[in-house]
Amino acid sequence: MVGTLGSIEFSVSEDMIRTFRDLSFTHSASYAEHKIIGRKGLLEFTGLNASTCSMKIFLDAQFGVNPAEELQTLYEAMNAHEAIAFTLGGQVMGGGLWVIETLNETHSIIGAGGALLRAEVSVSLKEYVE
């Protein structure tokens, strides 16, 4: 097993390949600027922002996954406003919980009867801090 995103398990085996690529994390801090007449403003650290993460998940029926079902699982997690765990190699990422902010899907191959056979979904996550 490579990792998990909620109930979705990323893994590579003889029977199934469910994986991602282009994994990217962004971490940032917030500063308030205090304006001073005739001088440069002074910055004051106000806190850390929630981290963000993005990845592209590759879903292909040829490799043992049902792209339509996988997309539905992601949509349900996003629509339920559900905070889900994200792990890689057994290590919890960020503060442990993330919410799905956006899903952008590309349907690459459509089969007989309109069955989705291959899709790639870009997922944007935001760290959920309790």
pLDDT tens-digit profile of 27-79?
999 999 999 999 999 999 999 999 999 999 999 999 999 999 999 999 999 99
- List, for residues 65-118, the tens digit of each pLDDT value: 999 999 999 999 999 998 999 999 989 998 889 999 999 999 999 998 999 999
pLDDT value of position 15: 87
Distances (CA, A) of 74 to 30, 53, 91, 103, 124: 30, 15, 21, 8, 11
pLDDT band at 11 (very low <50, low <70, confident <90, very high): confident
Residue with tokens 């992601």: 74
Host H or E run for residue 90: none
- State the DSSP code for 63: G
Q: Is the pLDDT of residue 21 over 90?
A: yes
Q: Which domains does the chain have, with CATH numbers?
A: 3-128 (2.40.30.200)
E-strand ranges in the chain read 3-5, 8-12, 17-26, 29-36, 39-48, 52-60, 84-88, 91-110, 116-128
What pLDDT shows up at residue 14? 86
β-pair partners for 48: 29
> Where residue 130 falls among pLDDT bands split at 50, 70, 90?
confident
Q: HSE (CB half, 13 Å, CA atoms) of 122?
A: 6
Q: For the purposes of burial, counting CB atoms within 10 Å of the CB of 54, is it exposed (0-12), middle (13-18) or buried (19 or more)?
A: middle
